[in-house]
Amino acid sequence: MARKIGPKHKLCRTLGVKLCDSFKCPVTKRNYPPGQHGPRKMRTKLSNYGKQQREKQKAKFIYGLLERQFHTTFERARRLPGSTGTNLLVLLEKRLDNVVYRSGLATTKQAARQLVNHGHFAVNGKNLDIPSYTVRVGDTIAVKETKRNSGYWKSVLENTKKTEIPGWLTVDPKALSIRIVSEPKPEELPQNIELSLIVEFYSR
């Protein structure tokens, strides 16, 4: 599966917003664009199209999607009843790799995707290694018995204690399982994405 590679903090600094999962993101200390001119470099004033493009790039980066995947998800959201922008975020949040990350069973979205790809999880008792799989209310995601001897899972209990788990998930750290108890509510969705700009971008 295609994935985004390259500097993970460059876009954070370019946009002046922490988009990655790292606690050591440099934007918290250097909130200015990268380059030799440092803090003296002025941010370019964007056109409406530029703002729309930037917001789309932000969302893609946050969820680790490439253009084709993101556009396909947007088209799914457009066909659903209700707000297209909200539908888009709900679909992105309900991706299997994102659910694993939100539950605290992975420290980053990249790690969550790798765990899913390597076949560590079963959904409703069936092996599943597709990060883009959309979970449903009532689904149970659990680490497979054959994978639980890994040293990684011994440290995951501490990580779940530090993770703020959204209300639409319940996590059983000892059983290494997650249950989808409801649809994500609007207040539980990321608030740092201007959805209207993304909808405008694809509505041109």
Please give the tally of structural domains in the chain.
Answer: 2
The whole-chain average pLDDT of the chain stands at 85
* Co-location of 86 and 99 in the same domain: no
Domain that holds residue 146: 95-183
Query: What is Dmax (Cα atoms) for the chain?
Result: 56
Per residue in 13-66, pLDDT tens? 566 665 656 556 655 666 656 665 556 555 567 899 999 999 999 999 889 899
2 belongs to a structural domain: no
Tally of CB atoms within 10 A around 149: 9
Rounded Cα distance between 95 and 22, Å, is 20
Q: Are residues 174 and 99 in the same domain?
A: yes
In a domain, 115, yes or no: yes
pTM greater than 0.95 (yes/no): no
In a domain, 131, yes or no: yes
CA distance 197 to 204: 11
- Asked if the structure places residue 3 within a domain, the reply is no
For residue range 121-144, what is the model confidence (pLDDT) as tens digits? 999 999 999 999 999 999 999 999
In terms of Cα–Cα distance, which of 63, 66, 61, 68 is closest to 14? Answer: 61
**Does 79 lie in the same domain as 138?**
no
Inside any domain, residue 4: no
For residues 78 and 108, state if they share a domain.
no
- Domain CATH for 149: 3.10.290.10
